[in-house]
């Protein structure tokens, strides 16, 4: 199972780690920590040293109820630091976390390698056609509503079946446009309550039906710290537990804030295959 990133084939049959770099002031765990280039570069260096294959850079906070910002504000936060990262680490594979086609286009043209879209094209009608033209891998996530409204949309008749149907439709649409490398993300915490998140994790292997790579992002999320009655800062142990389960259930990419610990999960589980 491979994806083509800027002409290099990345083999996902062995699980990989995607390190999170938030360039936002209000992300739920590390908001405001990496707003300037120097701190961002140090964090990228740390994550690459610890074994990240991808760095996922986002400038729009998608936590529940986060402030909506303009496209120009998102670009202003993202592009200068993206350019700095690629200048310092020219070989790095950068994933850009955006649902806006204009931001995606500018980021790929600046040297990013793939697009990670929380809305799978639902929040920008031009996103899928833009990704097709750019010929880059595309992470499509399951979500209903927007980051501002998604907590209202947690009614499902059969969650796993509905998520599978959603991806069947989205993958068909993407392939018809010529997007070759698609990755699916179940969207833990997005239009799903705590019980629904665990239902989805418990049935994660059902999503392998689509025969595309599977990305899991549970790092320090509410499904961990709310259940344990703690905080995002205290949720690393819980994150490692759920990442372990995700890898056992055939996840191909772990999207995390803590790269070293995720790499250790993958390394230890490799001894049992």
Mean pLDDT of 27-48: 75
Domains of the chain: 2-272 (3.20.20.20)
pLDDT at 64: 66
Measured CA to CA, the distance from residue 6 to residue 59 in angstroms comes to: 22
Q: Quick one: 110 exposed, middle or buried, by C-beta within 10 A (0-12, 13-18, 19+)?
A: middle
Q: Is 255 a catalytic residue?
A: yes
Pure H helices in the chain: 37-49, 71-88, 101-109, 127-134, 159-177, 194-202, 222-225, 236-248, 259-269
Q: Which of 16, 221, 226, 260 is catalytic?
A: 221
pLDDT of 207-237, one tens digit each? 998 999 999 999 999 999 999 999 999 999 9
Measured CA to CA, the distance from residue 72 to residue 55 in angstroms comes to: 22
Closest CA to 55 of 264, 263, 261, 257: 257
Give me the percent of the chain exceeding a pLDDT of 90: 78
Q: Which of 33, 255, 260, 263 is catalytic?
A: 255
Q: Return the SS3 of 218.
A: coil
The reported pTM is: 0.93
Measured CA to CA, the distance from residue 41 to residue 84 in angstroms comes to: 8
Q: Is 221 a catalytic residue?
A: yes
Mean pLDDT of 9-14: 95
């Amino acid at each position: 199972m491979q994806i083509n990133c800027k002409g290099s084939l990345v083999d996902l049959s062995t699980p990989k780690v995607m390190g999170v770099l938030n360039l936002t002031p209000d992300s739920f765990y590390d908001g405001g920590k990496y707003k300037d280039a120097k701190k961002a570069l140090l964090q990228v260096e740390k994550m690459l040293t610890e074994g990240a294959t991808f760095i996922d850079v986002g400038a729009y906070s998608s936590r529940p109820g986060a402030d909506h910002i303009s496209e120009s504000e998102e670009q202003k936060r993202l592009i200068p630091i993206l350019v700095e990262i690629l200048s310092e680490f020219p070989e790095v594979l950068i994933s850009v976390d955006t649902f806006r086609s204009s931001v995606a286009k500018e980021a790929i043209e600046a040297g990013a390698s793939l697009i990670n879209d929380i809305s799978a094209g639902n929040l920008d009608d031009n996103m899928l056609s833009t990704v097709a033209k750019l010929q880059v891998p595309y992470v499509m996530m399951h979500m209903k509503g927007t980051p501002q409204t998604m907590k209202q949309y947690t009614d499902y008749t059969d969650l796993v079946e509905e998520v599978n149907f959603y991806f069947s439709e989205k993958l068909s649409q993407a392939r018809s446009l010529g997007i070759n490398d698609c990755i699916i993300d179940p969207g833990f915490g997005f239009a799903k309550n705590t019980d629904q998140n665990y239902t989805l994790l418990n049935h994660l292997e059902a999503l392998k039906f689509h025969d595309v790579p599977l990305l899991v992002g549970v790092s320090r999320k509410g499904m961990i710290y709310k259940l344990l009655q703690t905080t995002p800062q205290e949720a690393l142990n819980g994150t490692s537990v759920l990442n372990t389960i995700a890898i056992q259930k055939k996840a191909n990419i772990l999207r995390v804030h803590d790269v070293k610990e995720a790499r250790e999960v993958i390394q230890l589980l490799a001894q049992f295959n």
